[in-house]
Amino acid sequence: MGGGRGCLIAFEGADGVGKTTQVSRLADWLQQKGRSAKVVREPGGTPVGEAIRHVLLRPEHVMAPLTETLLFVAARHEVVERVLRPALAQGSVVLADRFTLSTVAYQHFGAGVPREQVEALNQWATGGLTPDLTILLLAEQARRLNQDRMEQRADSFHDRVREGYLTLSREHWEHTGPEGRCRLVVLAREGDADHVAAAVLDAVRPLLDGEGGRRA
């Protein structure tokens, strides 16, 4: 598994579900296999994106849901143009710790911004760049430890986000169907991180071994 075509793998799920651990485990595995792996987190991943992250996550920054949405997608556009597209063009495997589904789950299902607005902004920000694979981690209860502005929201907000991710997982399954190209893999966070990591590898291997890399 030396060079190969670039591909984009997004990790999604509610706060505290263990995405970041899985992203770094997969990055280590890829590096051991000699594949160049690039990890980005959202919001962030660029100097402007990190500045936007600061604005978004400071607890004292009160803002309207649409303002929040626009800031998340602005940070996304920056990372897509400056980091993701160049890395993919060089044949890297890019691991995104959150991507477009986060905005649907948090700003639409959680904060009530109309879905068509969120989808249109996502499309605008990414220029149509979609992940080759999205790994959605689901958990009954997730721990929220950081207490940033998003994490401080009411339990009811986080319940809506979790339910939103469940809805998205069902929609994607209906869209792709059992025979269709599976772009979304849903993993229940059962057992320890080792079990989840093994399931992540099972989902990722066909993409890296086969013809799953992106065409452009």
CB neighbourhood size of 170 (10 A): 11
CA separation for the pair 163, 30 (Å, rounded): 32
**Of residues 22, 46, 92, 103, which one binds ligand TYD by CB under 6 A?**
103
Closest-CA residue to 197 (of 74, 29, 66, 33): 29
Contact by Cβ (8 Å): 100, 12: no
Judged by CB under 6 A, the chain residues 157 through 186 that form the site for ligand TYD are none
Q: Is 12 in the site for ligand TYD (CB under 6 A)?
A: no
Q: Which residue has the tokens 């594949």?
A: 35
**Of residues 78, 106, 185, 189, which one binds ligand TYD by CB under 6 A?**
106
The residues, any chain, with a CB within 8 Å of residue 133's CB and separated by 6 or more, are 7, 8, 9, 10, 182, 183, 184, 185, 203, 204, 207, 212
Q: Is 146 in the site for ligand TYD (CB under 6 A)?
A: yes
Q: Is 24 in the site for ligand TYD (CB under 6 A)?
A: no
**Of residues 6, 7, 22, 43, which one binds ligand TYD by CB under 6 A?**
43
CA dihedral defined by 180, 185, 188, 190, rounded to 10 degrees?
110
Contact code string over 53-72 relative to ligand TYD, x by CB under 6 A: -------------------x
Q: Is 42 in the site for ligand TYD (CB under 6 A)?
A: yes
**Of residues 87, 93, 121, 150, which one binds ligand TYD by CB under 6 A?**
150
Q: How many residues bind ligand TYD (CB under 6 A)?
A: 16
Summarize as ranges the residues that interact with ligand TYD (CB under 6 A): 15, 19-20, 41-43, 72, 98, 102-103, 106-107, 146, 148, 150-151
